[in-house]
Amino acid sequence: TSCLVVAEHDNQTIASSTLNTITAASKLGGKVSVLVLGNKCNGVSDALTKVQGVSSVVAVDHPSLEHPLAEAISPVVAELSKKENHSHIFAPASSFGKNFVPRVAALLDVNAISEITKINDADTFVRPIYAGNAICTVKSSDSFKVGTIRTTAFEKASLSGGSASVVSANDWAAPLIEKSLSETGIKWDSGEIKKSERPELTSARVIVSGGRGLKSGENFKILEELADTLGGAVGASRAAVDSGFVSNDLQIGQTGKVVAPELYIAVGISGAIQHLAGMKDSKVIVAINKDTEAPIFQVADVGYVGDLFKAVPELNDALKKAK
């Protein structure tokens, strides 16, 4: 096999989701080639040459790749796969990968396989369906196996141990990008990415998550304090997002982020199916809720029935002392 991994990055650093995807690609047992599409992203390409398991790095540097538009990157991924005869094309199942991977599959006239959690062999893949209420194994006879990788299902590849080199594909890729952008008439206008001192949700070791039980956005402060004591991230249920307590990018669940930290503390979250789908692979789950019957307790390793406004600050104090 020969797998092409499309790297997620911000032109400066490799996103950790790329490292999970490289591990998934390595499971196939063949070569792993990484494609870096960006603007002034040499640092990312160079860092990827050293990642464990990477056989080669192809870089495309173009001003219009400052933001990864599906229209710009899909034709390049499809063309490179044909040129280099890759059998597999993987990208992380993040908003980056989900956006362009099916477009690549269509250009190659093959299926896409979303959110792969396990690779049985070169043709057979496992993925959750119905929000994780069923697990589906699929077998592909397509000429290219194109898929997104659920990052929480694979370890991160080590940042050292590799010795690949970078090949530039600018000469043939730039005209493809320019053609597709003019054909589709798409433009990136603006963006607002929230900068946080806390770790990113999908790679955090600890997550403290709040639901409707928090009653207001201001009350999330007690969760932030607990998260900071534990060096963790703050998440939320869909109910909390829909109630306007916190922004959508904190949402954990089937339609939000899928996480699997070492420790997940669910506070004031009842445990709707759609939320459980996003966090039930966490190693240890602690639930704090005043409703004894809340379904979250069925999946929690440690369940505390009581008032969260009392329990969370107490827990925070106790953990500070225990340190």
**Binder of other proteins out of 99, 203, 219, 243 (CB under 8 A):** 99
Is 113 an interacting residue with respect to other proteins (CB under 8 A)? yes
- Give the burial string for 165-197 (b: 16+ CB within 10 Å, else e): eeeebeeebbebbeebbeeeeeeeeeeeeeeee
Q: Give the footprint of other proteins on residues 128-147 (CB under 8 A).
A: 128-142
Instruction: Output 13 or 165, the one with its CB closest to other proteins.
Output: 13
Cα 286 to chain center, whole Å? Answer: 23
Is 25 an interacting residue with respect to other proteins (CB under 8 A)? no
Q: Report the nearest approach of other proteins to the CB of residue 101 (Å).
A: 8
Q: Give the footprint of other proteins on residues 232-251 (CB under 8 A).
A: 238, 241-242, 248-249
In the block, tokens 């396990």 appear at 118
Instruction: Output 106 or 159, the one with its CB closest to other proteins.
Output: 106
Question: How far is 4 from 192, CA to CA, in rounded Å?
Answer: 30
Structure tokens at 23: 């591990």
Instruction: Output 171 or 197, the one with its CB closest to other proteins.
Output: 197
Q: Give the footprint of other proteins on residues 58-87 (CB under 8 A).
A: 67, 69-71, 74
For the chain, the residue count is 323
Is 39 an interacting residue with respect to other proteins (CB under 8 A)? no
**Binder of other proteins out of 63, 171, 189, 197 (CB under 8 A):** 189
Is 153 an interacting residue with respect to other proteins (CB under 8 A)? no
CB atoms within 10 A of CB 226: 22
Q: Give the footprint of other proteins on residues 276-315 (CB under 8 A).
A: 280, 283-286, 297-305, 311, 314-315
Residue 112 region, left (φ>0) first, then alpha (ψ -120 to 50), else beta? beta
Q: Report the nearest approach of other proteins to the CB of residue 191 (Å).
A: 4
CB 83 within 8 A of CB 77: no
Q: Give the footprint of other proteins on residues 201-220 (CB under 8 A).
A: 202, 206
CB atoms within 10 A of CB 150: 25
**Binder of other proteins out of 41, 59, 91, 101 (CB under 8 A):** 101
Is 191 an interacting residue with respect to other proteins (CB under 8 A)? yes
Q: Crossing angle for the helix pair 16-26 and 95-107, nearest 10 degrees?
A: 50
Number of residues that bind other proteins (CB under 8 A): 90
Is 106 an interacting residue with respect to other proteins (CB under 8 A)? yes
Q: Report the nearest approach of other proteins to the CB of residue 163 (Å).
A: 31
Residue 173 parent element (H or E): helix 170-184
Q: Report the nearest approach of other proteins to the CB of residue 314 (Å).
A: 4
128 closest CA partner among 273, 317, 304, 254:
254
